[in-house]
A and B are shown apart, each in its own frame.
Chain A
């Protein structure tokens, strides 16, 4: 079959892509400059599921998130990523530990920042723990750097959480957020301003809800956004969802998505088979998604980039939709206590990745099934990811559930950040076999 024989949609690059890149690069520049006399600013390090808005009450600061930093280096310079991982392994850390953590630690140990200059050491570390690696990662870093560390413990809701259980978890997390504020005030000596916190958390709610809106717009056929564009877009919510310019970005993106959907502008002009992807990608091998496009396959979504910084209102078996920000629901946000409670509830109720990591099994399987249906997918592609034990949780059970339901599913082994654990030839061969079983051939240009 040639491309002439199948339906061909209009396509064009995203206008927002340039702005996304600009915001991302400025962010990494800001991090480096925060360590210089000229651009000096409070630099806070930690995992990006940390409550980014929380330090906003201290005034101007920049957050250096470990995971997206590691993803950037693995995507942009895999050789450097390997150098970093080897440095970490030489320091005694096991090779099967979280690849992002090994990237990050190695960059610190080598004192080389991927975006140029020495590794930016934070003034303190702030983390949120829900994967086993989270709490340990910045314990290790703070000991090495010799600066203070605080981590909140995020105990996710079960898929069938009771009212009583939810209340306990909300109290637990709200209390810790309040503790974190007191702790930050104490170690920095800066007077905390609640109004700044309130603005920042409102932005977090807005950004994550907007990103979910963009994701829902991708249910359209043809899909307006493909996997590679998503990686460039979701990352801003991960890096700085608490900032007004990021809220603005997602409004622009949402509008552009609407426009593309209305005008049937496709990400993959030959779209004829839609896939959902599970787990992070092998960042150094994003071209596998280009390879899929040759078959007319569009990767239209993933639990990872949709869920990571997305606010999702999910009722198993009923709906999966963007959560409505508390400020739009009349939830009072007058003081610190209100803001922390609203933040705790937002993440507990609407953070699907954290819930899926703690509770895999039937709940997580049902979520994947739900996504496959809503995004009109023909199958699932699972990256059996040796670099992230968090997202590897439940993957084989999902595979099994899909096989039992007669839904096409393929797996490939790899590692989110470690190219040494990726066999490209084997992966492409698996894709070929999967395509063949789906009756798809490469479309001739």
Chain B
């Protein structure tokens, strides 16, 4: 039985009532709401103009409204996101933004732009983040984005506005790591599902408010004891994943998720904007180029794999669940090499393919079998 912690309930409520939160925020502040298709959208710039960026996520309900717009081979996540727009669930948005991520979510963005009447912004985010040439390109693209935001809101973004936004975002990222670090404990004071609520809320709620709640949560966690056996320590990684029911199921069969490599988790808050010199846009660009890349951007060298491995060490991970959205080419391309890499490091992996809705019974059996192998002695 997990003792209820009111602060955690707050994060859960934010996630479960995200639309209400956004509407209330708008009524309260009179600001604009910008839906983001991906974590590469440089939110600091929009935030500096008084805009609240909110991540567009799916609802995990079966749907067929996207069929006329998206071919069935596009990932369930991108289709689910578009479905939310088409069903009017995000009709409070003033604008949408995408920084080129992958062709699937790009396509959802394009269809949204065609069929739903909101302002749209596209940032040409380079893919070869490892090239020094990407730095001036992205800084330049951010300059264009900044100008477009200024025109849209009718207010200019000063250096002081940017500094304030950067500071608020950096603080929030730092606090997320403070909370995540507590999960390194032998018996983590927070479950994986609870941590996922905190991480998801981070992408939907005003960062100042989120940080405030996070500070309270961290204080509570310092003395919190969970009356449960943590079981096997697991990592989740792979495609977009906001399935809190899946984590709940995993943690109900003798495991605790202690860390992740998801764009809905560590990849979102990985690093801070390190302001060097006067050019804030360059500093913001560097932050996005230096974060753990999604597979699409992880070439020619592999930056993500060693970081993932380091996390398994830091968090005492005993097994990794590799999650891949069906048809997610970026992660599909990485899976064989990553599986081999983990195997070489002696870390067991379980591969699961996600759809918008999950066959939970089947997954439970597979997770249980996986947990058994983790616990087993190597006899041969």
User: Which of chain A's residues have a CB closer than 8 A to the CB of B334?
Assistant: 136
- Kindly state the separation between the CA atoms of A133 and B296 in the bound complex, as whole angstroms: 8
Query: Which residues 358-413 of A have a CB within 8 angstroms of B?
Result: 358-362, 384, 386, 389-390, 392-397, 400
State the CA gap A169–B136 with chains docked (Å): 10
In angstroms, Cα B103 to Cα A132, docked, is: 7
Interface string of B89-111 (1 = CB under 8 A from A): 00000000000101110110011
Q: Tell whether, in the assembled complex, residue A168 and residue B141 are in contact, meaning their CB atoms are under 8 Å apart.
A: yes
List residues of chain B with CB within 8 A of the CB of A162: 144
If A97-B332, A135-B296, A168-B141 touch, whether A393 touches B128 (CB-CB below 8 Å) is no
The smallest C-beta distance from A127 to any residue of chain B, in angstroms, reads: 9
Do A390 and B103 touch (CB < 8 A)? yes
B137 and A172 contact, CB distance less than 8 A? yes
Shortest Cβ distance from B124 into chain A, in angstroms?
A: 5
A297 CA / B102 CA spacing, docked (Å): 37
Digit string of A123-147 for contact with B (CB within 8 Å is 1, else 0)?
A: 0000001011101110110110000
Q: Which chain A residues lie closer than 8 Å to B326 at the CB level? A: 96
0/1 string, A170-206, CB within 8 A of B gives 1: 0110011001000000000000000000000000000
B177 at interface, CB cutoff 8 A:
no
Residues of A near B152 (CB, < 8 A) are none
A-contact 0/1 string along B127-151, CB 8 Å cutoff: 1100101101100110010000000
Q: How large is the interface on B (under 10, 10 to 19, 20 to 34, 35 or more residues)?
A: 35 or more
User: For A438, what are the chain B residues with a Cβ–Cβ distance below 8 Å?
Assistant: none
Q: Does the CB pair B332–A94 fall under 8 Å?
A: yes
CB distance from A49 to the nearest CB of B (A): 14
State whether the Cβ of A153 lies closer than 8 Å to any Cβ in chain B. yes
- B73 within 8 Å of A by Cβ? yes
B339 cross-chain contacts in A, Cβ below 8 A: 92
Contact assessment for B110 and A359 in the assembled complex, using a CB-CB cutoff below 8 Å: yes
Contact B69 A151 (CB under 8 A): no
Minimum distance in angstroms from A68 CB to a CB of chain B: 21
Considering the complex, which residues of chain B in the window 58-86 have a beta carbon less than 8 Å from any beta carbon of chain A? 67-71, 73-74
**A428 at interface by CB-CB < 8 Å:** no
When distances are taken between beta carbons in the complex, the residues of chain B under 8 Å from A361 are 110-111, 113-114
Query: Which residues of B lie under 8 Å from residue A171 when comparing CB positions?
Result: 136-137
A168-B140 in contact (CB<8A): yes
**Cross-chain contact of A155 among B69, B111, B126 (Cβ < 8 A):** B126
Those of B213-254 within 8 Å (CB) of chain A: none
Is the pair A397, B110 in contact by a Cβ cutoff of 8 Å? Answer: yes
Known: A92-B336, A179-B133, A397-B114. A172 touches B126 (CB 8 A): yes
User: Given the complex, which residues of A lie within 8 Å of B136, measured CB to CB?
Assistant: 168, 171-172
- Most chain A CB within a 10 A radius of its CB, from B102, B106, B299, B336: B299
Q: Check B327–A96 contact: CB distance below 8 A.
A: yes
**Is the C-beta of A328 less than 8 angstroms from some C-beta in chain B?**
no
Q: Smallest distance from the beta carbon of B301 to chain A beta carbons, Å?
A: 9
CB interface residues, B 253-307, toward A, < 8 Å: 295-296, 299-300, 302
When the two chains form their complex, are residues A393 and B114 in contact, meaning their CB atoms are under 8 A apart?
Answer: no
**CB-based contact B107/A393 at 8 Å:** yes
Taking the closest CB of chain B, its distance from the CB of A391, in whole angstroms, is 10
- Measured between beta carbons, the chain B residues less than 8 angstroms from A27 are none
Q: Give the chain B neighbours of A6 by CB distance below 8 A.
A: none
Question: For B144, what are the chain A residues with a Cβ–Cβ distance below 8 Å?
Answer: 162, 164-165
Confirm or deny: B370 has a beta carbon within 8 angstroms of a beta carbon on chain A.
no
Closest A residue, CB atoms, query B143: A164
| A360→B114 CA distance, assembly (Å) | 10
**A153, A384, A400: most-surrounded residue (chain B CB, <10 A):** A153
Give the residues in chain A near B68, CB-CB below 8 Å. Answer: 396, 400
Complexed CA–CA distance, A396 and B296 (Å): 24
B100 CB to closest chain A CB, in angstroms?
7
CB neighbours (8 Å) of A169 from chain B are 124, 137
CA distance A394 to B114 in the complex (A): 11
Cα of A137 to Cα of B295 in the assembled complex, Å: 12
Enumerate chain A residues within 8 angstroms of B127, measured Cβ to Cβ: 129, 135, 153, 155
The residue in A137, A165, A169, A394 that gathers the most chain B C-beta atoms within 10 A of its C-beta is A394
Query: Is B300 touching A396 in the complex (CB atoms < 8 A)?
Result: no
B358: chain A residues within 8 A (beta carbon):
none
Tell me how far the C-beta of A90 lies from the nearest C-beta in chain B, rounded to whole angstroms.
10
Q: Is A158 an interface residue (CB 8 A)?
A: yes
11 pairs, A vs B, C-beta closer than 8 Å = A129-B299, A140-B336, A153-B134, A155-B127, A169-B124, A179-B131, A389-B329, A393-B103, A396-B68, A397-B69, A397-B110
Task: A91-B336, A96-B329 given; name 17 further pairs at CB < 8 Å.
Answer: A92-B339, A96-B73, A97-B332, A97-B333, A135-B296, A136-B299, A136-B333, A140-B337, A153-B128, A164-B140, A165-B124, A169-B137, A175-B133, A360-B106, A360-B107, A361-B110, A397-B110
Chain A residues close to B by CB (< 8 Å): 91-94, 96-98, 129, 131-133, 135-137, 139-140, 142-143, 149-153, 155, 158, 162, 164-165, 168-169, 171-172, 175-176, 179, 357-362, 384, 386, 389-390, 392-397, 400
5 A-B pairs closest in CB distance = A153-B128, A92-B336, A361-B110, A136-B333, A168-B140
